[in-house]
Chain A
Amino acid sequence: MHLAYPAVLAALLFATGLYGVLARRNAILVLMSVELMLNAVNLNLVAFDVWLRDTLHAGQALTLFTIAIAAAEIGIGLAIVLMVYRNRGTSDVDKLRDTAEGHEPARPDDNTARPEVAA
């Protein structure tokens, strides 16, 4: 098989995931796009491992490690998103800009967005 097929597919999948990370508003959809990017990298690792016929099979071992770390990442990420949702009532990354510069007047709005804390 030509090596360009898996490499090009991985590049296109990575670009798709990059678009999703930058363009999506819901934090969980951002996490889905991150998964797509990680999968693109995994495909690249497997393809180059099969091409190089590495005796250590470093590509495949690293792919397994990446899959495990992605599973840990999605668990922690979803826990964080759920905590943010519980505290703020939203999981839109656009609205979580307390630390952004130039948005200080947004403070009074927090009273409506966070009724638990206001009371």
Chain B
Amino acid sequence: MSIATAPLAPLAAAGHGFLSPTGVEIAFVLVGLATLGAALVTVTTKQLVHAALWLVVALGGIAVEYLLLTAEFIAWVQVLIYLGSVVVLLLFGLMLTKAPIGRSPDADSGNRWVALGVAGLAGATLVWVVVDAFRATWIDLDGPAQGSTKVTGEILFQHWVLPFEALSVLLLAALIGAIVLSRRNTAAEEAADAAARTGKGQR
């Protein structure tokens, strides 16, 4: 089958051209197109809050892709961590920095055409290399699920315990760091802020 599709352009071979796509493949491609579209809207929309909401669609699509790849546990971790907390944190950040609610015409910086060129070049190169390398490679999704909670728990607490514990220390350090960074600190700065406020009032 892959020999029959080999004469096609490499880019076309990735999207279609296979004689008997399975249902999982069709679902994967459809969800992938939705994910990619949502990601494109996320990086191009002029409305900042809409960017965060489209990011929800993109990350949820990736969670569905994990499910289709039989990695259940990671899919639900993705839903919990990314959809549950990261997007909420981003929305909080947008609100706390007083992001404009409507359209903000200066959402893109002046070097967007350079960025488009770099991203297009990187994407084309990566797609070309990946398609060329894995043209005749198939994932065998039959058999027991490879990412069920049982399997993930076993490998995580048998083979990856030490990195797991180190990661918990890293999370604690990040938590303390975020608190230290975001609290209003010394009395001297408070006094300076108060002076600034009164100074502005006099001006």
Contact = CB atoms under 8 A, between A and B. Distances in A.
A35 B40 CA distance: 13
A72 B200 CA distance: 37
Interface residues of B, number: 96
Contacts of A83: 181-182
8 contacts: A8-B131, A16-B43, A26-B99, A28-B94, A29-B48, A50-B71, A61-B155, A69-B167
A98 B145 CA distance: 53
B55 to A, nearest CB: 5
Interface in A56-81: 56-57, 60-61, 63-65, 67-76, 78-81
Contact of B139 (A21, A47, A76, A94): A47
Contacts of B178: 75-76, 78-79
Contacts of A82: 93, 96-97, 181-182
A31 B152 CA distance: 29
Interface string B36-63: 1001101100001001100100110010
Contact of B192 (A31, A43, A53, A116): A116
B109 A4 contact: no
Interface of B: 13-15, 18, 22, 24-25, 28-29, 32, 35-36, 39-40, 42-43, 48, 51-52, 55, 58-59, 62, 65-66, 68-71, 73-74, 77-78, 81-82, 85-86, 89-90, 92-94, 96-97, 99, 106-112, 114-116, 118-120, 122-123, 126-127, 130-131, 134-135, 137-141, 146-147, 151-152, 155-156, 159-160, 163-164, 167, 170-171, 174-175, 177-178, 181-182, 192-193, 195-196, 199-200
Contacts of A42: 62, 74, 78
Contact of B43 (A20, A63, A72, A74): A20
A107 B62 CA distance: 45
Nearest to A16: B39
Contacts, number: 277
A77 B38 CA distance: 23
Contact of B108 (A21, A25, A63, A85): A25
Interface string A1-28: 1111111110111111111111111101
B115 A22 contact: yes
Nearest to B25: A1
A23 B116 contact: yes
A6 B65 contact: yes
A69 B170 CA distance: 8
B90 A4 contact: no
Contacts of B182: 79, 82-83
